[in-house]
Amino acid sequence: MTTLAHDSATLTRDALTVLQPGFTGTTAPDWVLRRLGEGLASVGLFGRNIATPEQLGALTAQLRAERDDVLVAIDEEGGDVTRLEVRTGSSFPGNLALGAVDDPELTRAVARELGRRLAECGVNLNWAPSADVNSNPDNPVIGVRSFGAEPGLVARHTAAYIEGLQGAGVAACTKHFPGHGDTAVDSHHALPRIDAGLDTLTARELAPFRAAVAAGTKAVMSAHILLPALDPDLPATLSPAALHGLLRRPVADGGLGFDGMIVTDGMEMRAIADAYGIERGSVLAIAAGADAICVGGGLADEGTVLRLRDALVTAVIEGRLAEERLAEAAARVRALGEWTRRSGGPRAAHGIEPAAGVGLAAARRALRVTPAGSSYDPVTGPAYVAAFTPVANIAVGEETPWGVGAELARLRPGTGAATYGRQDADTLGVNGLIENMLDTAGDRRIVAVVRDVHRHPWMADALDALLAARPETVVVEMGVPQAPPAGALHIATHGAARVCGRAAAEVIVGNGAGDHPGD
């Protein structure tokens, strides 16, 4: 047993302070309000907690009435990953679209407007931006969430995003340290491994995080990935070498010199939960240098909070977690809460001129349009949109609509749409799937919408068969554009946000075709 410097009440309060849980419902449950009074200092919001901006504002006001420095966090990257607009699709293109434009001022303006909307709703911590360098085009979980595959580009846009977001009074949480881009496994499902050497990691993965620290990011989120060059045994979230060592170590000693809040990625993700369990994983994470434990995407109940609180308290009492390390972590959480209390909230939003059209303007600039011949005949009547749909990754979720069907139907009434997945290809065969599609489309022009066609052989085969039957088909790639352009017109949107679909639909019908960079 360990002799404690403080009483058990202080220890329990600190243990609650470092937790960042979620909950269900569009109002705060009684247990959340009660725990805020006992020391809980953060909550995480997800799509299930949000119905309208007005409702979200009332929810955050309810939380703030219990604790005026509470951190209200959200996973609002814009683009494919949106919680504010989970049921409609985002008004902002995601990182890959911004990287494709490569105008840091535009990125700063988009992040500022996104931050203004969050602050107006009372959200003061955003688990964004993703600073991952998407060096592996087969990455199943990052993809369009990255600004790109070149470290310098990712670094300058990461910095611009942080400056824009925090200029609106919302703390940025740069993720997923030390970099999730060179992975072929989704850490929601298993533990990814990056075997790159330390020199490669330093030049590639770490460049955007160095830029983020220099830009003043208030928080950094750790990744559940194994990098043997840093630590052969423990994933970064649990690794003292990665967190206390590399991220905290002074720049003069080869580290990044970060002194803000370190928060873990979701502890219920299988990369941690399967191998360590969330209780042991949380203790190891705090011991390694993390300051806040994110949990609540899948486990959103009071029992989880109490289990983690008690696990941290017990670890201190048994000597497996230093009391001063837990106290230091809690202090960093409270310090960030104090910064948001002074800098954030609706009053911060009121001082910023709204820029309602910046997201659509960015999506239009991000389009890369490739005609197959010297001319393109715009769609003048009803079309048929065939969306080749892969399984959504957990970070994006299945609730958020994507594609061009709704936007094209608005411009060309009578347009129909259907989705086709791998199961359809397996059941019907590629030829049967295309025959079904052609029968349904009739004489309407087909618009084929794909997402990362280079990663899905069934999708590539189906698209080839469709183009052989209907060469006049328009192809819209809404993922990472790795496959060669195909179709009578090929539009790469660099993301699947609602505004990306609208921008593509405008080109399909002839409004603005040829006006975009990369034509």
* Residue 287, strand partner residues: none
Which class for 462: exposed (0-12), middle (13-18), buried (19 or more C-beta within 10 A)?
Answer: buried
User: Which DSSP letter does residue 200 get?
Assistant: H
3-state secondary structure at position 167: helix
Phi, psi angle pair for 342, to nearest 5°: -80, -35
Quick one: which of 345, 420, 346 has its CA closest to 384?
420
d(CA 68, CA 176): 28
Angle (CA) 359-392-80 rounded to 5° is 10
d(CA 138, CA 264): 24
d(CA 113, CA 178): 27
Task: Order the strands of the 219-222 sheet from edge to edge.
Answer: 42-45, 71-74, 125-126, 171-177, 219-222, 261-263
Residue with tokens 């002839």: 510
3-state per-residue secondary structure call for 265-280 = CCCCCHHHHHHHCHHH
d(CA 180, CA 170): 24
Q: At what angle do helices 278-288 and 302-317 cross, to 10 degrees?
A: 50
Q: Which residues are catalytic?
A: 188, 265
- Contact status, residue 145 vs residue 132, Cβ threshold 8 Å: yes
Radius of gyration (C-alpha) of the chain in whole angstroms: 23
